Amino acid sequence: MAVSDAENARPDDVAIIGLAFRGPGDASSPERLWDMLVHSRSAFSSVPRSKWSHEGHYHPSPARGGSTSVHGGHFLDTTQDGTRFDAAFFDMRRPEMLSMDLQQRIALESVYEAVENAGLTLEKVRGSKTSVFAAATNDDTRAILGMDPDFALEHKHTGTSKSIIANRAQTKSAVAKDN
């Protein structure tokens, strides 16, 4: 925002000064997403083995319950899907991280990336009027953790709740270790 813009700003104006993005295929950043859109590239791919057994769930009829009639989709790769999350960086113990939905992990990493994208440090952002907005879907982690009665982790409920993703990302990012 230029100085003249700041002088004309209204109290309810919002400034987006940093952002982060995780998307399927090679759309791993806002710049790469834009490039993908400009060049009309699709991120559609076959189902990675790391996601699920496609052969075990495929059926040609979309009417058949408990199956899929498609051969692929749009998937985050393992460099950005939260499976390589650095719990220590966010001052988090491993048991807490293990009970944490991948969407929460991605949100934490994305908040840090957005702060970096803005050219700021977490120290500079702490205490400022900065917000995290997030939307989430699916409860895969909650369902998986719920299937194993022996896997009753202390943080399972907060780690799998979609309703607190933005809050958790904002709070945990505030305690992340700046490099």
User: pLDDT tens digit string along 113-136?
Assistant: 999 999 998 888 888 888 888 777
% of the chain surpassing 90 pLDDT:
18
**Residue 78: strand, helix, or coil:** coil
Same domain, 137 and 106: yes
Identify whether residues 94 and 72 lie together within a single domain.
Answer: no
Domain shared by 101 and 173, yes or no = yes
What integer pLDDT is reported at residue 179 of this predicted model? 45
- 168 — pLDDT class (breaks 50, 70, 90): confident
Last residue within a domain, chosen from 26, 45, 77: 77
Residue 176 lies in a domain: yes
pLDDT at 9: 74
Shared-domain flag, residues 73 and 102: no
Do residues 160 and 94 share a domain?
Answer: yes
Reported confidence tier of residue 26, pLDDT bands at 50, 70, 90: confident
Question: For 164-168, which contacts have Cβ atoms below 8 Å and span 24 or more sequence positions?
Answer: 165/101, 165/103, 165/104, 165/107, 165/134, 165/136, 166/107, 166/131, 166/132, 166/133, 166/134, 167/132, 168/104, 168/107, 168/108
Looking at the structure, tell me whether residues 64 and 105 fall in a common domain.
Answer: no
Of residues 88 and 50, more confidence is placed in 88
Domain check: are 71 and 108 in the same one?
A: no
> Which residues span the domain enclosing 34?
17-77
Picking from 56, 77, 98, the residue at the C-terminal end of a domain is 77
How far, in Å, are 10, 58, 72, 83, 128 from residue 165 at the CA level? 29, 32, 28, 17, 19
Question: Is there a domain that residue 87 lies in?
Answer: yes
Same domain assignment for residues 162 and 114: yes
What digits encode the pLDDT tens for the residues 134-156?
Answer: 777 776 666 666 666 666 566 66
**Based on the domain organization, do 164 and 91 belong to the same domain?**
yes
- The tens digit of pLDDT for each residue in 30-83 reads 999 999 999 999 999 998 887 778 888 899 998 998 888 988 989 888 777 788
Shared-domain flag, residues 88 and 165: yes
Q: Is residue 105 part of a domain?
A: yes
Q: What is the pLDDT of residue 152?
A: 56
Residue 154: predicted pLDDT: 66
Number of domains in the chain: 2
